[in-house]
Amino acid sequence: MTITAPALIGRTWDDIALGETASITRVCTPNDLIVFAHASGNMNPVNLPGESEQETGRTAVAPGMWCASLFSAVFGNKLPGPGSVYLSQSLRFHARIEAGEAVIAAVTVREKLPGNLLVMECRLEKADGTLVVDGTAEICPPQNRLVTDGVVIPELTLMPRGKFLRLLEACRGLPPMPTAIAAPTDENSLGGAWEATREGLIEPILVGPEAEIRAVAERIGWDLAGVRIEPTADVHAAPARAVALVHEARAEAVMKGNIHSDEVLRHVTKSDGGLRAGRRISHAFVLDIPGHEGLMIITDAAINILPDLMTKADIVQNAIDLARAIGIETPRVGVLSALETINPAIPSTVDAAALAKMAERGQIKGGLVDGPLAMDNAVDLEAARTKGIHSSVAGRADVLVAPNLEAGNMLAKQLVFLSQADTGGLVLGAKVPVMLTSRADDEHARLMSAAFAVLYGYWRRTGRSRLAEVTP
């Protein structure tokens, strides 16, 4: 998509009279400040929406040079217009503009000097007349009258975690999920739990060494008023206690804290006293990948190391259930291998074909399953067409099923660390949702894992997607 501006006229020195004036009105939006930070490299938190409120408690304000850039827009678009050359600028700043405020940038021709030079008076005011900036500029108008036939530029769209924001919005109005957080003894894990609490996603039960938890809470500014703490002797005892809270009906979900995944999973998956519910337990990453139209699920990248066919069938069914819970009505599941044809020397191709047939015969329900597919023809329609693959899944898979844990883990982390995908993770097929993230994941990944758990829990209780209910 592009944006088209009307024809612009650049006027010469002879065409311009003393005292002429021109102006533009502009609202300073939060997106303006984000774009300016990218373009200028100025990362001062007082100028960044969200960061300013967190660091200073105040609304973000526009950098001085964002204000000055509005004069450039008047010169380039109106007076003298296209073809103008900026020579110098002298400005004084009197007030600040907050995100959301409207301003008027006006310029007036004060002097016409020999040598094709104009001295312009510059003035920037708020809508109520408050002076923000004043000063002068020296401008060379074009040597010859210049008329454009319209200017076309690509549209700039900012989508900060846009697809994930829809999921967070869908959770609003649902009751918080009582959640046992195992060993929240560092700032990331406790901070993630705090974010999820503030968003109304969870009702936290902090499980672990109480002194360590309180020390971290003090560092991040969480006073823990009214928050339940289940003390344990050390962090290693926390996963067992978190699982026990589920059996005691005090927790409806488990969240991993600052502890290795193996320790949590050992207690979740054990036959006696764990959280098994009949189907094989598996893990799924949900990713919001820049430039990719929809959400992507990758499974299994954390639990089943070298799954056999029937384990893969459960992995696929678990992923379909999650996809439906987060608003993908009929998930397209691509079962990955190194190639898209069946080769008995590559067992994952045989498994993939069997899974596709199982879905066709109703052994896997709720989604469309195809395989084997290589990565390119699973996610790119042109690659699928080039290779002559015709299916409802090829080129547009919502779920990617890896042949083994190593491949899935590398694929998911490549997308996170090289493609800047946002992510969260959930353990599926257990009695309750288990929020499983890497210790290297930030607070947002933990927040989104909580959102997935809430939506997945709602789908399991009602058989309906919350997204379908709140989307017009």
Both 329 and 427 in one domain: the answer is yes
Tell me, what's the pLDDT at 1? 40
- Where in the sequence is the domain holding 307, given as residue range(s)? 162-470
Tell me, what's the pLDDT at 155? 63
Buried b (16+ CB within 10 A) or exposed e, 430-452: bbbbbbbbbeebebbbbbbbbbb
**Tokens standing for 101?**
């405020």
Q: Report how far residue 31's alpha carbon sits from residue 339's, in angstroms, rounded to the nearest whole number.
A: 43
HSE, CB side, 13 Å, CA atoms: give it for residue 382: 0
On whether the CB atoms of residues 134 and 120 are closer than 8 A, the answer is: no
Low-confidence stretches of the chain (pLDDT beneath 70): 1-6, 54, 150, 155-162, 439-440, 471-472
**N residues, the chain:** 472
On whether the CB atoms of residues 141 and 98 are closer than 8 A, the answer is: no
Which of 154, 184, 201 terminates a domain? The answer is 154
Tell me, what's the pLDDT at 5? 59
Cα–Cα nearest to 36, from 6, 68, 4 = 68
Both 180 and 146 in one domain: the answer is no
Q: Report how far residue 39's alpha carbon sits from residue 37's, in angstroms, rounded to the nearest whole number.
A: 6
Q: Report how far residue 386's alpha carbon sits from residue 99's, in angstroms, rounded to the nearest whole number.
A: 48
Which of 107, 137, 154 terminates a domain? The answer is 154
Torsion angle of the four alpha carbons 415, 418, 419, 421, in this order, in degrees rounded to the nearest 10 = 60
Tell me, what's the pLDDT at 365? 96
Both 196 and 168 in one domain: the answer is yes
Tell whether pTM > 0.95.
Answer: no
Both 419 and 327 in one domain: the answer is yes
Both 100 and 199 in one domain: the answer is no
- Which residue type sits at 374? A
Terminal-residue alpha carbon distance, the chain: 24
Which of 154, 180, 204 terminates a domain? The answer is 154
CATH, residue 242:
3.40.718.10
Both 266 and 409 in one domain: the answer is yes
